[in-house]
């Protein structure tokens, strides 16, 4: 033991136990976790190779397959938040020089561009105004033009509230011999998703939105065509933590130690998925749709304008145009500080133009909408 | 909403709420979390840009500086487990072609080699038998030979239980104009560490060992020389999720959205660090040392041999040689299944040769040792 050095205590804060306000989280995520999920998370941790934990990992895999409607064997939860799962998706199937075509109609499309370029991809983009979606014809033309290895689309664009229809896109990708990679961060659990029927090869999500779990353990799935690409790599995956060649040996039969999983978040995720299976995934989709429509109707009654055309609106996240002359940030701040209700502001191109209101997972309830509607007149100074 | 597809319910498990056994975790980690830490983690999440959360991030930064004994401004917790912080350390300061010299005397030295090579480093190694450490002379010779950009050493080798002395290494690195990168995964909180006095430029750790917190939010710190290297990069950090150029804008004054942090794990980490500051870091080091010495004495009384020479033994993790003719795995399994006590087996070169017994964070208590010693005779079939 080093005895000669003295301790610098200048950063030794003397704090009280944690006190954070209790918020209703109606922003773009995180949403409030289900109380039973928090309860499960509170269970003392076991080891990451404990048989009890390995069994729980299997259960998570099954339930993720169910909520995603896929038979993909390689369906796991990544030990990080949604962005880590996004990076895992890109890192594993991208090799330097691969042409990756990204549909950009919002902030998260741009993030895919940034990430793919960091892995050496030759990134091409097709663009739409934020809040719109791509048609099958537009996608076909782009595939003809760029002949990519991977087509990356955002199913639920968290920055715009738009839902990209995916019917037929998988067939197109097969026709052009490319993989289909899908961002389902704001759709899993709350928006209809049929990965296998739609021919999706790679998808990722998060825990803290439609699944009603705290953030930190994030779903990722690779189908057979993606696994084939993984096995044909000429180079190691340029990311050790997210390397599916290594991770699949921990989640698979070998149970080879890779890293220490965030045990308690897996407890929480297992409980969130258990509750979702109990409810039934189609019932959860319908619940999200119903509560979103109730919100839309009330907001429009209130004289507000919704940013996305109704048929492409996400039931999980609604973008509302900020009326002329209203300080959007001030309204959101007042909602948070005076009423403990969080809503989101616009991101990127939509900064200052929209609010983002999420009704996700446990928060997709009529009560959430009513609570918001009760305080909205006060902050908008309307009668 | 897609109505035409039917739901496949084959993976829809109908599960009971979570039931996992209550274990005493005396392996190489995770250790049991302090009950107050679990309690804090259970607080309902707020948003990742909520002023209450931003304040908590500042508190975590201060307290991490205190436990690491550093003034590094760029001291944060990465949104992943220890291996993610390890990868963050490597990814940010390594550029393709950099000569990275790694001291390999165990499993985690080898992991540094693997990671650095994935980021394009020209990796060189110096080696020692597992359980031994490098002398200053050996390090000087290696620096003279390889002239690296970065010297990477494992302060606390979790696979061997050896503590690499660091006094003087920082001066050597300055003499040779290279950065000093240190793995403190199994030392932070439990083993004396003076990052600034020792001239460490980059260090990382985890939450679930000496800090007594569940895994998932992992300390990382970069000193001024490392930040200079970061700013002089010719290429983007080849990892979006762990890019400190982006992360520093979320943890710094800008508060620019990067990714959704694992909110509840930050609650837990803040509480774990708060308790550590309350105890005093030097008291925690002394507690770990005292309990380890008690364990060592009792194990030797019991006729067992310790793998590491006493002066280099980690107080957090002890490697015990498995006696001739004893099935080490069977013993560990019996301890777990019959007595709910987890100890670890050997890893890599030491597989089958040692057990690893951790006394870390909340588990570094005389009671933990006594509980183990009480059941050890049964599983070793000794009177």
- Structure confidence by residue, pLDDT tens digits, A50-97: 999 999 999 999 999 999 999 999 999 999 999 999 999 999 999 999
Looking up residue B223, the CATH number of its domain turns out to be 3.40.640.10
B301 & B200 share domain? no
Chain A: give the shortest CA distance to residue B74, in Å: 14
B66 → closest Cβ in A11, A114, A215: A11
Find the CB nearest B238 among A33, A206, A238: A238
Within a domain: A232: yes
For chains A and B, CB pairs below 8 A equal 301
CB contact under 8 A, A33 and B40: no
Q: Using CB atoms, which residue from A29, A111, A262 is nearest to B214?
A: A262
Q: Identify the helix (H) or strand (E) that includes residue B163.
A: strand B162-163
Q: Find, among A21, A28, A24, A18, the residue nearest to A208 by Cα.
A: A28
Q: Is the pLDDT of residue A1 over 50?
A: no
Shortest distance between the Cα of B269 and any Cα of chain A, in A, equals 11
Six token digits for residue B309: 């020479």
Report the pLDDT averaged over residues A279-296: 98
Q: What is the pLDDT of residue A3?
A: 55
Contact list, B21 vs chain A (CB under 8 Å): 46, 50, 52
Residue A268 shares a structural domain with residue A154:
yes
- Tell me the C-alpha to C-alpha distance, in Å, between residue A287 and each of A208, B184, B189, B266: 17, 47, 47, 31
Final residue in a domain of this structure, among A277, A310, A333: A277
Residue B263 to residue A14, Cβ atoms within 8 A = no
Partner-chain contact B42 A47, CB within 8 Å: no
Q: Is the pTM of this model over 0.95?
A: yes
Distance from CA of B306 to the nearest CA of A (A): 19
- Give percent above pLDDT 70 in chain B: 99
Band (A4; pLDDT cuts 50, 70, 90)? confident
Model confidence at B353: pLDDT above 50: yes
User: Which residue in B232, B259, B251, B335 sits closest to B65, CA to CA?
Assistant: B251
Residue B1: per-residue pLDDT = 47
CB < 8 Å from B in window 95-114 of A: 111, 114
- Which candidate from B18, B52, B261 shows the least CB-CB separation from A81? B261
pLDDT tens-digit readout, B2-22? 457 999 999 999 999 999 999
Closest chain B C-alpha to A11 CA, distance in angstroms: 5
Burial class (CB in 10 A: 0-12, 13-18, 19+), B54: middle
B-contacting residues in A 175-214 (Cβ below 8 Å): 192, 194, 196-197, 206, 208, 214
Question: Nearest-CA residue of chain A relative to B270?
Answer: A18
CATH number at residue B328: 3.90.1150.10
Task: Average the pLDDT over B160-189 and give the result.
Answer: 98
Confidence band (pLDDT; 50, 70, 90) for B70?
very high
Nearest to B216 among A82, A262, A270 (CB): A262
Residue B348 maps to a domain? yes
pLDDT at A27 over 80: yes
Residues B237 and B323 in one domain: no
Is B5 in Cβ contact with A83 (below 8 Å)? no
| Tens-digit pLDDT profile for residues A318-344 | 999 999 999 999 999 999 999 999 999
Are residues A241 and A313 both part of a single domain? Answer: no
Identify whether A325 is part of a domain: yes
Q: Which of A259, A271, A315, A351 to mutate to test the interface with B (most CBs of B within 10 A)?
A: A259
pLDDT at B90: 98
Question: Is residue B81 within 8 Å of A264, Cβ to Cβ?
Answer: no
Q: Which residues of B touch A282 (CB under 8 A)?
A: 7
Angle B315-B317-B319 from CA coordinates, rounded to 5°: 115
Is A273 in the same domain as A353?
no
- Picking from A220, A248, A277, the residue at the C-terminal end of a domain is A277
Q: Is the pLDDT of residue B383 over 80?
A: no
The ipTM value here is 0.96
pLDDT of residue B4: 72
- Helices and strands counted in chain A (H then E): 12, 15
Q: Could you report the per-residue pLDDT of B98-156, keeping only the tens digit for each?
A: 999 999 999 999 999 999 999 999 999 999 999 999 999 999 999 999 999 999 999 99
User: Does the beta-carbon distance from B62 to A206 stay under 8 Å?
Assistant: no
Task: Give the chain A residue whose CA is nearest to the CA of B237.
Answer: A118
**Structure-token match 């996305």, residue found:** A308
Query: A236 and A299 share a domain?
Result: no
Task: Name every chain A residue with its beta carbon within 8 A of the beta carbon of B238.
Answer: 118-119, 238
Cβ distance of B257 and A347 shorter than 8 Å: yes
On whether residue A11 sits in a domain, the answer given is no
The answer on A323 and A250 residing in a single domain is: no
**Chain segment A133-188, per-residue pLDDT in tens:** 999 999 999 999 999 999 999 999 999 999 999 999 999 999 999 999 999 999 99
pLDDT at A381 over 90: no
For residue B130, is it within any domain?
yes
Contact B216 A267 (CB under 8 A): no
Taking residues B216-243, report their average pLDDT.
97
E strand or H helix at A89: helix A82-93
CA–CA min distance B71, chain A (Å): 8
Average pLDDT over chain A, rounded to whole? 96
State whether A219 and A347 are in the same domain. no
Query: Do A83 and A126 fall within a single domain?
Result: yes
Closest CB to B69 among A7, A260, A347: A7
How far, in whole angstroms, is CA B312 from its chain's centroid?
Answer: 18
Q: Which residues pair with B100 in a beta bridge?
A: B123, B150
Task: Flag if A215 and B46 touch (Cβ within 8 Å).
Answer: no
Q: Does some domain include residue B48?
A: yes
Are residue B286 and residue B238 in the same domain, yes or no? Answer: no
Query: A23 and B17: CB-CB below 8 Å?
Result: no
Query: Above 70 in pLDDT, residue B351?
Result: yes
Q: Are residues A147 and A190 in the same domain?
A: yes
Element spanning B154, H or E: strand B150-154
* Final residue before a domain boundary, out of B277, B306, B327: B277
Q: Compute the 3-state secondary structure of chain A and give helix, strand, coil in percent, each to the nearest 5.
A: 40, 15, 45
- Angle CA B291–B193–A257, to nearest 5: 70
Mean pLDDT (whole number) for B164-190:
98
- Burial class from Cβ neighbours inside 10 Å (0-12, 13-18, 19+) for residue A317 reads buried
Closest Cα in chain B to A61: B11
Mutate to test the interface with B, among A6, A8, A40 (most CBs of B within 10 A): A8
Domains in chain A, number? 2
For A253-265, write each residue's pLDDT tens digit: 999 999 999 999 9
Does some domain include residue A261? Answer: yes
Which B-chain residues 7-46 have CB contacts (< 8 A) with chain A? 7-15, 17-18, 20-23, 25, 27, 29-30, 32-33, 36, 38-46
**pLDDT > 90: what percent of chain B?**
97
B151 touches chain A (CB under 8 A): no
B195: in domain: yes
Residue B243 has pLDDT above 50, yes or no: yes
| Together in a domain, B231 and B289 | no
Expressed as residue numbers, the domain containing B361 is: 24-30+280-379
CB contact residues (below 8 A), chain A span 246-305, against chain B: 257-265, 267, 270-271, 274, 277-278, 280-282, 285-286, 289
Q: What is the model's pLDDT at position A323?
A: 96
Contact B7 A282 (CB under 8 A): yes
* Neighbouring residues of B8: CB distance < 8 A, sequence distance ≥ 6: A66, A69, A71, A196
For chain B, the 3-state helix, strand and coil shares in percent, each to the nearest 5, are: 40, 15, 45
Q: Which of B14, B17, B81 sits opposite A259 (nearest CB)?
A: B81
**Quick check: B325 pLDDT over 50?**
yes
């Amino acid at each position: 033991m080093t005895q000669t050095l003295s301790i610098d205590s200048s950063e030794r804060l003397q704090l009280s136990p944690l006190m954070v306000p209790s918020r209703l989280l109606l922003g773009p995520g995180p949403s409030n976790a289900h109380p039973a999920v928090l309860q499960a998370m509170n269970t003392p941790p076991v080891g990451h190779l404990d048989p009890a934990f390995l069994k729980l990992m299997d259960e998570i895999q099954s339930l993720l397959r169910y909520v995603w409607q896929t038979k993909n064997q390689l369906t796991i939860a990544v030990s990080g938040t949604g962005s880590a799962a996004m990076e895992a998706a890109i890192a594993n199937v991208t090799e330097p020089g691969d042409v990756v075509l990204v549909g950009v109609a919002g902030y998260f499309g741009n993030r895919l561009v940034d990430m793919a370029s960091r892995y050496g991809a030759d990134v091409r983009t097709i663009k739409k105004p934020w809040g719109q979606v791509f048609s099958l014809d537009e996608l076909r033309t782009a595939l003809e033009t760029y002949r990519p290895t991977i087509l990356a689309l955002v199913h639920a664009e968290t920055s715009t509230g738009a839902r990209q229809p995916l019917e037929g896109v998988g067939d197109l990708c097969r026709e052009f011999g490319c993989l289909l990679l899908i961002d389902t961060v704001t759709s899993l659990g709350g928006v209809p998703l049929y990965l296998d029927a739609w021919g999706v090869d790679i998808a990722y999500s998060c825990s803290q939105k439609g699944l009603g779990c705290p953030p930190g353990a994030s779903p990722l799935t690779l189908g057979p065509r993606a696994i084939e690409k993984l096995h044909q790599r000429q180079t190691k995956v340029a990311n050790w933590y997210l390397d599916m060649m290594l991770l699949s040996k921990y989640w698979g039969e070998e149970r080879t130690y890779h890293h220490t999983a965030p045990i308690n978040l897996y407890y929480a995720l297992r409980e969130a998925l258990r509750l979702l299976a109990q409810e039934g995934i189609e019932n959860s989709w319908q619940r999200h749709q119903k509560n979103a429509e109730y919100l839309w109707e009330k907001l429009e009654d209130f004289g507000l304008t919704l940013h996305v055309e109704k048929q492409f609106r996400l039931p999980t996240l609604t973008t509302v145009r900020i009326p002329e002359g209203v300080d959007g940030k001030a309204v959101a701040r007042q909602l948070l500080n005076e009423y403990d209700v969080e809503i989101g502001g616009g991101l990127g191109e939509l900064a200052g133009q929209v609010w983002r209101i999420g009704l996700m997972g446990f928060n997709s309830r009529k009560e959430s909408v009513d609570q918001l509607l009760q305080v909205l007149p006060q902050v908008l100074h309307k009668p």
